[in-house]
């Protein structure tokens, strides 16, 4: 159920409840406080699906005890939290020697099963798996809506994009059970072939097609959802086209007709007819109804809608939100801004913003429901507000985003709830939980570590002490094993994001790595553990303090040169690291704007056989250019103070820096074997441009340069190396791209040839 339907449903229920209340000789609760409760009655609006005893069991108010307004408010919260009621009001009436309470409730339907009508292509048993409800539990319409969307997606994947799925909740039986009936119109197979526009003079068809979610089937959508078409998405596209015209000054523009024409047995065409109307300019802007705040004079300069400019609907929407937020940040939870557009003649329009301020409220209690697995405190610690503070609607928006970003819930709703106090509203947070654990198996290949198989178990809402479910405390758990021809490793880590009750992330990690792909001259094995603390230092900045201890074994080949034989042995390395990172990127996997800058030190020598200090500085900047072109520049500098061991020296080459060279094949060399032995200092820089080719595929052109210097005694430095190349970015296996690059060396040392090299990796650099 969408927000407007849900609100309408709630208001309808409240209206029925109010009608029922009107017939009761009720007295204000405030006037009855302290009187003895003589009885607690339950009256129903609509069908009775929950017994009176069950309603009373959720209430703490008891017969024989004094009436408490605070307790009545708590009873209302508990009834909502039970999931048994859709609406509730508690009234009172005078009784001999005390007061009688009446709970007027609209109960939720109880799930009694599901039926499917009209499905021939997909078996009912497969559709039933999408309905995540249990018999004897209240029906949650958000679950029914999600199931409907997933069923439609099942049909779309079969090529029946015209299929529609609707549902209804049947009338409850005498026992209170309701059957959910899904009706399916499978339609016929229909792939969108062409989208044609009629009447679009001001904007070309190709520009309007970019606005639409539905895409024509063709080479540009070969890896995407191109060709899928359905009535609901088409209606959304029509609204998007009308909004686009209004945002560009065409106030009266509208789509007057949409035709779906069957081209053949498999394909359909869509014809959209547009009446553009005329453009309008803003003749004047005024704000009326302001009494409590120092507006409109103070806020007018910040509004985007200005006299003399072309009218734009998106600017007006932003202005309305700005004004509403000014009130909402001061506790005016009911403030409303309604725009009026008046014809000023000569292509002009007068814009009047009519403000209804409402009253100031503070937060009463905060009630959370729907979190069957997630602990209450895990949710509450993310809230930027608390009882007694002003009912700040801007902080409500922040609250919703924070809870959604936890990725524990499929939906988050925040609803104000009236209380017995005129200046107070309680906050009801209703969440719908989703699975947070994953088990992945697979195989992969890269030009660095060749063919590998892997298994990974993750739980982002982990609880170390909740056996056997291990969920609900907001911790993050990861266990992975990887094995292949060139590598074998295993790791396990747990993160507590609120260590000691503070916004301080504590991570513990243990690992084993057998790094056979580093060199033909030796094998490197690492086994160790680390503890780190991560602290936010601002909106985009965080710092990390890490303690690490690891046992490192260097096992040279029996025929290795003397330089590599000298590196052999077992070493214990104890270190502490400090890093500060500022990250403003708009996306981790494919950033278009922003930057990421990191600076840090690692101090080795806290016990063990290794003493060294490594300084690292890295940065990346992204630019969003016209036509969805992205330009990026990134680079890094590393310096080891001693570099006495091969595992504390630096190398370049491979898919993540100098792509025209083999992995770790750039740097000072052992003159006897010709193999890279690493250097104390390394720097590299990359400039790259990516551009769209077809849906989910981008092209790339790049230039890399770098140098590793200051090798051990007797080694030969190679100087600067550089390359250029072309590549592809394939977003076909999820969010992280598959990267295919072919690079040609421009400058190379005497040990590297100038032939091109192919580099293949999957994922993004964090």
DSSP code per residue over 115-150: EEES-SSS-HHHHHTT----TTSB--HHHHHHHHHH
CA angle in degrees (0–180, nearest 5) for 147-149-152: 110
Long-range residue pairs from 759-762, CB within 8 A, at least 24 positions apart, any chain: 759/447, 759/654, 759/655, 759/659, 759/727, 760/445, 760/446, 760/447, 760/655, 761/446, 761/447, 761/448, 761/655, 761/656, 762/444, 762/446, 762/733, 762/736, 762/737, 762/738
Q: And the tokens for 175? A: 């026992």
The closest alpha carbon to 244, from 235, 229, 234, 254, belongs to 254
Which residues are bridge partners to 307 per DSSP?
Answer: none
What's the rounded Cα separation, in Å, for the pair 451 and 443?
7
**pLDDT of amino acid 17:** 39
Pinpoint the alpha helices (H) of 129-222: 141-157, 205-211
Give the distance, in angstroms, between the CA of residue 727 and the centroid of all CA atoms in the same chain: 29
**pLDDT of amino acid 728:** 94
Q: And the tokens for 69? A: 């307004």
The closest alpha carbon to 238, from 269, 264, 260, 211, belongs to 211
* Dihedral sign of CA atoms 444, 447, 448, 449 in order: positive
Q: How many CB atoms lie within 10 A of CB 443?
A: 9
Pinpoint the alpha helices (H) of 504-596: 562-565
Q: Where are the beta strands (DSSP E) in 252-347?
A: 254-262, 267-275, 281-288, 336-345
Helices (H) and strands (E) in the chain, counts: 12, 31
Q: And the tokens for 163? A: 């299929």
Q: How many CA atoms lie within 13 A of 377 on its CB side?
A: 7
Backbone angles phi, psi at 59, to 5 degrees: -105, 140
CA distances from 369 to 10, 81, 411, 655, 757 (A): 17, 5, 12, 48, 56
User: Residue 362 in 3-state DSSP?
Assistant: strand
What's the rounded Cα separation, in Å, for the pair 139 and 47?
14
Q: How many CB atoms lie within 10 A of CB 3?
A: 8
**pLDDT of amino acid 535:** 94
| Largest distance between two CA atoms of the chain | 106
Sheet holding 164-169, edge to edge: 110-117, 177-185, 164-169
**pLDDT of amino acid 3:** 34
Mind listing the pLDDT tens digit for each residue in 595-629?
Answer: 999 999 999 998 888 999 999 999 999 999 988 89
What's the rounded Cα separation, in Å, for the pair 45 and 47?
7
CB 24 within 8 A of CB 102: yes
Q: And the tokens for 187? A: 């339609």
Would you call the peptide bond into 601 cis, given omega within 30 degrees of 0 as the criterion? no
User: Residue 562 in 3-state DSSP?
Assistant: helix
Local mean pLDDT, 10-residue blocks, the chain (766 residues)? 38 40 51 87 81 87 89 86 82 87 85 90 90 81 87 81 84 77 84 88 90 73 59 85 89 88 81 90 88 71 86 88 89 89 87 90 90 91 90 89 90 87 89 88 63 85 88 93 84 94 93 88 94 92 96 93 93 96 89 95 91 96 93 97 94 92 92 92 97 88 96 89 94 78 90 83 60
Please, what's the b/e burial string for 128-165 (b: 16 or more CB within 10 A of its CB; e: otherwise)?
eebbebeeeebbbbbbbbbbbeebbebbbeebbbbbbb
- Quickly tell me which residue has 């243990």 as its tokens: 510
**pLDDT of amino acid 251:** 84
What's the rounded Cα separation, in Å, for the pair 369 and 293?
35
Q: And the tokens for 458? A: 């993750």
The whole-model pTM stands at 0.67
């Amino acid at each position: 159920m969408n927000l407007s339907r849900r609100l309408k449903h709630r208001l309808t229920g409240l209206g029925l409840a109010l009608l029922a209340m009107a017939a009761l000789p009720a007295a204000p609760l405030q006037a009855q406080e302290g009187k003895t409760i003589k009885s607690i009655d339950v009256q129903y609006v609509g069908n009775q699906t929950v017994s009176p005893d069950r309603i009373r069991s959720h209430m703490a108010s008891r017969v024989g005890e004094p009436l408490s307004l605070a307790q009545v408010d708590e009873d209302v919260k508990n009834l909502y939290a039970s999931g048994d009621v859709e609406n509730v009001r508690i009234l009172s009436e005078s009784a001999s020697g005390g007061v009688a309470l009446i709970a007027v409730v609209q109960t939720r339907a109880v799930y009694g099963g599901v039926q499917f009508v009209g499905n021939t292509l997909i078996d009912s048993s497969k559709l039933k798996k999408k309905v995540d409800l249990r018999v004897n539990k209240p029906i949650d319409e958000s679950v029914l809506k999600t199931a409907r969307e997933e069923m439609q997606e099942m049909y779309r994947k079969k090529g029946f994009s015209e299929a529609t799925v609707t549902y209804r909740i049947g009338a409850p039986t005498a026992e209170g059970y309701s059957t959910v009936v899904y009706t399916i119109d499978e339609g016929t197979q229909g792939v969108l072939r062409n989208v044609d526009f009629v009447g679009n003079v001001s904007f070309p068809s190709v520009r309007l097609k970019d606005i639409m979610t539905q895409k024509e089937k063709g080479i540009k959508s070969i890896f995407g959802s191109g060709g899928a078409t359905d009535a609901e998405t088409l209606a959304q596209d029509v609204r998007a086209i009308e909004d686009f015209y209004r945002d560009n000054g065409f106030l009266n523009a509208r789509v007057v007709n949409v035709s779906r024409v069957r081209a053949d047995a498999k394909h359909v065409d869509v014809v959209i007819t547009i009446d553009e109307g005329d453009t309008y300019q803003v003749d004047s802007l005024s704000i009326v109804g302001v009494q409590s705040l120092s507006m409109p004079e103070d806020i007018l300069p910040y509004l985007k809608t200005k006299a003399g400019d072309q009218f734009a609907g998106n600017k007006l929407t932003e202005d309305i939100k700005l004004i509403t937020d000014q009130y909402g940040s001061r506790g005016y939870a009911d403030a409303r801004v309604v725009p009026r557009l008046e014809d000023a003649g000569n292509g002009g329009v007068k814009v009047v913003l009519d403000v209804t301020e409402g009253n100031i409220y503070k937060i009463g209690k905060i009630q959370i429901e729907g979190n069957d697995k997630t602990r209450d405190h895990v949710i509450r610690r993310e809230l930027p507000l608390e009882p007694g503070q002003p009912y700040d609607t801007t902080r409500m928006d922040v609250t919703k985003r924070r809870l959604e970003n936890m990725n524990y819930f499929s939906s988050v709703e925040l609803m104000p709830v009236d209380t017995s106090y005129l200046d107070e509203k309680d906050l009801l947070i209703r969440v719908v939980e989703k699975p947070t654990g994953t088990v992945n198996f697979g195989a992969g290949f890269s030009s660095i570590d060749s063919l590998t198989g892997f298994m990974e178990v993750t739980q982002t809402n982990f609880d170390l002490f909740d056996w056997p479910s291990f969920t609900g405390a907001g911790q993050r758990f990861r266990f992975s094993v990887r094995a292949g021809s060139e590598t074998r490793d295993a790791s396990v880590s747990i993160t507590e994001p609120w260590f000691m009750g503070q916004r301080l992330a504590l991570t513990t990690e243990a690992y084993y790595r057998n790094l056979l792909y580093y060199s033909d001259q030796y094998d490197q094995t690492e086994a160790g553990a680390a503890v780190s603390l991560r602290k936010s230092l601002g909106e985009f900045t965080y710092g990390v303090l890490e303690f690490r201890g690891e046992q490192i074994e260097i096992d040279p080949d029996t025929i290795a040169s003397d330089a590599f034989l000298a590196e052999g042995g077992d070493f214990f390395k104890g270190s502490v690291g400090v890093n500060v990172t500022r990250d403003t990127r708009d996306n981790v996997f494919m950033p278009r704007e922003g930057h990421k800058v990191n600076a840090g030190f690692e101090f080795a020598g806290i016990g063990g056989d290794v003493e060294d200090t490594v300084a690292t500085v890295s940065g990346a900047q992204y630019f969003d250019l016209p036509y969805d072109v992205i330009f990026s520049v990134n680079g890094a500098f590393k310096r080891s103070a001693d570099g006495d061991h091969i595992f504390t020296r630096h190398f370049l080459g491979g898919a993540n820096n100098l792509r025209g060279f083999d992995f770790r094949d750039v740097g000072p060399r052992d003159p006897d074997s010709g193999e890279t032995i690493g250097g104390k200092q390394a720097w590299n820089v990359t400039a790259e441009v990516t551009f769209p080719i077809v849906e989910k595929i981008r092209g790339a052109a790049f230039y890399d340069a770098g140098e590793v210097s200051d090798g051990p005694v007797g080694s030969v430095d190679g100087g600067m190396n550089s390359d250029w190349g072309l590549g592809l970015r394939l977003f076909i296996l999820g969010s992280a791209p598959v990267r295919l690059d072919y690079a040609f060396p421009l400058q190379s040392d005497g040990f590297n040839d100038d032939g091109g090299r192919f580099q293949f990796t999957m994922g993004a650099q964090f």
